Structure 1
Amino acid sequence: MKLLQALFFPPEQPGGVSSMIPYMQERFTTPRWEMDLFSLPKRIRNKGREEVQFETFDWTEYQDSPVVQKYIQTYRDYLWWTKLRIQKPYDLIHAHHPIAGLAMKTVFPDTPLIQTIHSSYERELILNGRIETDGPEHRFLLAIYGELEHQAERLLTVSDSFRRYLAPYVKEPDVIGVIPNGFDEKRFKPIPHDNAIPQLVTVCRLVPAKGLDILFKACAELKGRGHDYVLHIIGDGPIRPDLEELAQRLGIYNETIFYGYTLHPEEFMPFFDIFVLPSRAEAFGSVFAEAALSCLALVGTDVGGIPEQIENGSNGLLVPAEDPSALAEALEKVMLDPAYRYELARSACEKAKTHYSLGRSVNELKKMYLQFPS
């Protein structure tokens, strides 16, 4: 079977898709399987000129929005690049971004399409202050889900929580499949260590949706209680200057290290003690599984797909979103009790190996792929 994995970002970009899809390729290099990866290079801008029409709604109702115009132009660019670069037919296309799936179905209408929806772009834009709830951009992006359901032979997502989120926007939510992201254990090498001062780490894009302002306020509380720690911030994004200013204002700048974007954060994570990310929304939260496989204690918020990974008090700690004091209390527990911290980390690692291994995800995908005749 000839498979195409259609991504949006190039596979070296950070995120859940890049945690899994490139590492799947070697599992499909057998006489029975042939798999290629395809994505839109960042340098491709404003090349597409094709008229855009969707079958389930009229996008031109929202065309006055610059956000919608940019989305449509990116779709045109993806169409242009697909027609330019893909010359051979495939038996099956698995798309990992709405733009990729819709473009592929336009160019190859007779090829079965599996569409995985990994995250909610509209929710991220709302949380990051880019668009308004129920505004034209929000309505446009929600309508895309119905178009994807109409065009794809199979719709998938990455958590039960996100399937529930999608339910109001599709006609048959019960047929949406759930296959969590899988992670290649060979990438993660936990290292026994004994840090004299607890080392906290977070890995994310620096945007409001990740709740790092809440983390900084929690860390200020910890410092106020006389606790020593170091907070490592791996990632970059538009609010980095704001976060640096906030760290200075809260008096925790000397305890906070900003690394910027790092291509392989899993190489650093085993040297830390506690992974913490107080997200305001997560479809799955791949970085929690990566931190678990690095044998770190996990502290996260009770939102989205995070509670599907963290069982509070068993393999990590969950706190409400937007609650710096609750987050400080949770961090204090794991900072002050190394034995408890180790037990949480060990349990998290065992669950991640069992539920989020690359092998398990690949086996589930192979079974699904074989339902489509080649």
Structure 2
Amino acid sequence: MSKSMTQLRLLFFLNSGVRGGIEEHVLSLLQHLPRDHFRFALACPPELIEAMTGDLTDLPVTVFPVRATGWTQWREMLHLQHIVQQFQPHIVHCHLFRATLVGAPIAWAMRVPVIVETYHGREAWRQGQSLKGQFVIDRLVAGCVNHIIAVSEAAARFLIEHKRIPAHKITVIPNGRDLRAFQPGRRAGSAIRKRFQIPASAPVLGVVGRLEPQKGHQYLLQALPQICASFPDARLLLVGEGSLHSALQNQAKDLGLHDNVIFAQFQSDIPAFLDAMDIVVLPSLHEGLSLTAIEASAMAKPIVATDVDGTPEVVRDGTTGVLVPPAAPDDLAHAVLTLLQHPDLAFRYGAAAHAWARQHFDLQRQIDETERLYLELIAMQ
């Protein structure tokens, strides 16, 4: 296999502008795929490059700023075409359908040997009987894609059952994290509590994720008055940035709980912030396979999460945490209060979560399986 014995040129394409779980997923691939096998490039919007600069600086990756988010942006489409022409990739790997919609046809037209999409989960904006809701365009664009990686079994089922993508074009490679960075018991969280003036005795709930509608922060805020009625000194620590920042701040003020909610913005030291939390809450409306759920589990934190998509593959209801319906503040409040009122139960869930994460979600497995798929696809060309 001559191509696999040389350095393959691998171009990742993202058109998201905010750093979140999917962007961390791509960064992990750039950091851990073997550098003697691959030469890397990343094409994405300038604001995402800026958000990732600290992590990209020491990586052998060529970075191309481009903001191609739709077919009507013909200048940006031509720019992306020029990037492909300049880098001459053996593999173009798109993440999320919006990126695939733009990147896959260009890569196909430019005769890139292998085009891969990673499908991170269903898109809430794809509803109804329109072309968007019926996934007609998805199937057309899938004709330009050699293979699709699904990050969870739930994501694969959605591709097959709803988008009607042939099963032979799909491989499930679950998300993983470098679990060496997530070691419970180091007491790094005490510094975080001190930094945000959180009393040592105050219970801390935490959410790590972009402040976007998908993540469901608004429903957790609606649940917070019930929680604070029993635990008045409870704090809700929100780690992440996004378009709902101001709206969520206003919601907390309107609820009279501004002092109970801490907006920590984006943070790179996620293990320390998780260590500061007593319970990690994931109130998402949809998820592919949550990196936060994996990280919190590795930190031996009990989790309250919504029963959506791939989340039950990480959070096992009644074993490592509690699953509740999405958009259900009363259920969120009840689950959180149960764990706060029964710390022994919370401890057992956290210990079980730690063991589950170590067994199933180590990053090296994801890296090895991704590299193996790349090489198999190249060998077929």
TM-score (norm 2): 0.79
Map of 1:240 onto structure 2? 245
Task: Map residues 194-209 of structure 1 onto 2, 5 A cutoff.
Answer: 195-209=200-214
Matched, 1:190 2:184: yes
Map of 2:80 onto structure 1? 81
> Aligned in 2, Cα 1:110/1:8: closer, same or farther, shift over 3 Å?
closer
The residue identity in structure 2 corresponding to 1:96 is H
Matched, 1:35 2:39: yes
The residue identity in structure 1 corresponding to 2:210 is R
Deviation at 1:88, TM superposition (A): 4.3
Select which of 106, 122, 133 maps to 1:120.
Answer: 122
Deviation at 1:232, TM superposition (A): 0.6
Map of 1:7 onto structure 2? 13
Paired residue secondary structure (1:284):
coil
Map of 2:29 onto structure 1? 24
Question: Which residues of structure 1 form unaligned runs of 5+?
Answer: 45-68, 127-131
Map of 2:329 onto structure 1? 324
Deviation at 1:82, TM superposition (A): 4.2
Seq. identity, %: 24
Select which of 148, 157, 165 maps to 2:150.
Answer: 157
Deviation at 1:21, TM superposition (A): 2.8
8 A contact 1:4–1:93 mirrored in 2: yes
8 A contact 2:122–2:286 mirrored in 1: no
Select which of 151, 159, 171 maps to 1:166.
Answer: 159
Deviation at 1:237, TM superposition (A): 2.2
Paired residue secondary structure (1:344):
helix
> Aligned in 2, Cα 1:106/1:293: closer, same or farther, shift over 3 Å?
same
> Aligned in 2, Cα 1:207/1:18: closer, same or farther, shift over 3 Å?
closer
Paired residue secondary structure (1:251):
coil
Distance in 2 (alpha carbons) for counterparts of 1:95 and 1:312: 33
> Aligned in 2, Cα 1:86/1:238: closer, same or farther, shift over 3 Å?
same
Paired residue secondary structure (1:14):
coil
The worse-fitting range, judged by mean Cα deviation, of 270-279 and 218-227 is: 218-227
> Aligned in 2, Cα 1:148/1:173: closer, same or farther, shift over 3 Å?
farther
Distance in 2 (alpha carbons) for counterparts of 1:154 and 1:76: 28
Distance in 2 (alpha carbons) for counterparts of 1:269 and 1:79: 43
Deviation at 1:107, TM superposition (A): 4.9
Q: Deviation string for 1:24-64 (max 9, x for gaps)?
A: 33543354x123031223379xxxxxxxxxxxxxxxxxxxx
8 A contact 1:91–1:112 mirrored in 2: yes
Deviation at 1:229, TM superposition (A): 1.1
**What is the root-mean-square deviation of aligned Cα atoms in Å?**
2.8
The worse-fitting range, judged by mean Cα deviation, of 204-213 and 313-322 is: 204-213
Paired residue secondary structure (1:169):
coil
Deviation at 1:216, TM superposition (A): 1.3
> Aligned in 2, Cα 1:289/1:171: closer, same or farther, shift over 3 Å?
closer
Distance in 2 (alpha carbons) for counterparts of 1:157 and 1:298: 23
Distance in 2 (alpha carbons) for counterparts of 1:267 and 1:198: 16
Select which of 148, 162, 180 maps to 2:174.
Answer: 180
> Aligned in 2, Cα 1:313/1:151: closer, same or farther, shift over 3 Å?
same
Map of 1:51 onto structure 2? none
Distance in 2 (alpha carbons) for counterparts of 1:325 and 1:197: 22
Map of 1:108 onto structure 2? 110
The residue identity in structure 2 corresponding to 1:306 is T
Paired residue secondary structure (2:157):
helix
Q: Deviation string for 1:64-104 (max 9, x for gaps)?
A: xxxxx962245762552341465343333333244354155
Question: Which residues of structure 2 form unaligned runs of 5+?
Answer: 49-67, 191-199
Paired residue secondary structure (2:14):
coil
Distance in 2 (alpha carbons) for counterparts of 1:43 and 1:233: 22
Distance in 1 (alpha carbons) for counterparts of 2:223 and 2:186: 27
The residue identity in structure 2 corresponding to 1:243 is L
Map of 1:64 onto structure 2? none
Paired residue secondary structure (2:219):
helix
Task: Map residues 298-317 of structure 1 onto 2, 5 A cutoff.
Answer: 298-317=303-322
Paired residue secondary structure (1:115):
strand
Paired residue secondary structure (1:283):
coil
8 A contact 1:206–1:239 mirrored in 2: yes
Select which of 338, 345, 349 maps to 2:354.
Answer: 349
The worse-fitting range, judged by mean Cα deviation, of 323-332 and 75-84 is: 75-84
TM-score (norm 1): 0.80
Select which of 279, 285, 306 maps to 1:280.
Answer: 285
8 A contact 1:163–1:178 mirrored in 2: yes
